[in-house]
Amino acid sequence: MKGSIKAALVSAFVCPGFGHFIVKRYFRGLAILAVLFGALGYLWMLAMRKAKEIMAQVDLETMTIELFMDFIVDLDATIRASITTTDTVSSGVAIFLIVVCWVFSIVDSYRLGAVPLPDK
């Protein structure tokens, strides 16, 4: 299998940026991984913040099983009420960055794999 195809497949199916390691473009691969993990970390932080806000509404010491089941049923409405426009826009930007990194990584690793490395 050609190196360009292998690099593109690794970038597509393993992780964006890993294909650049196959074509020995380490800095570019690390840059893509940094953006990808930064965006994923931001989405994780948003999810954990929302989980803390929801769990703050739950008083586990006085909750009975019936109250807990009612809370679970109303959980969707609680989550939707706690999402702000700022969170929606910023999470949309993070998801857009992830998609752009993925597509760029596939195309760029294929392109770089098709061109031989210059001799040093």
Q: Is the pLDDT of residue 84 over 80?
A: no
Taking the CA atoms of residue 106, residue 112, residue 115 and residue 117 in that order, the dihedral angle to the nearest 10 degrees is -150
Is 119 inside any structural domain?
A: no
Which long-range contacts does 91-98 make (Cβ < 8 Å, 24+ apart)?
91/42, 91/43, 91/46, 94/39, 94/40, 94/42, 94/43, 95/39, 95/43, 97/35, 97/36, 97/39, 98/36, 98/39, 98/40
Whether 120 is in a domain gets the answer no
For 18, the domain range is 3-114
Residue 74 has pLDDT above 80, yes or no: no
Q: Are 104 and 32 in contact (CB under 8 A)?
A: yes
Q: Would 14 be classed as within a structural domain? A: yes
Q: How far is CA 3 from CA 8, 58, 117, in A?
A: 9, 54, 12
Interval 23-73: pLDDT, tens? 999 999 999 999 999 999 999 998 888 888 777 766 666 667 777 777 777
* Model pLDDT, residue 61: 61
**CB neighbour class for 89 (10 Å; exposed up to 12, middle 13-18, buried from 19):** exposed
Give the count of domains, the chain: 1
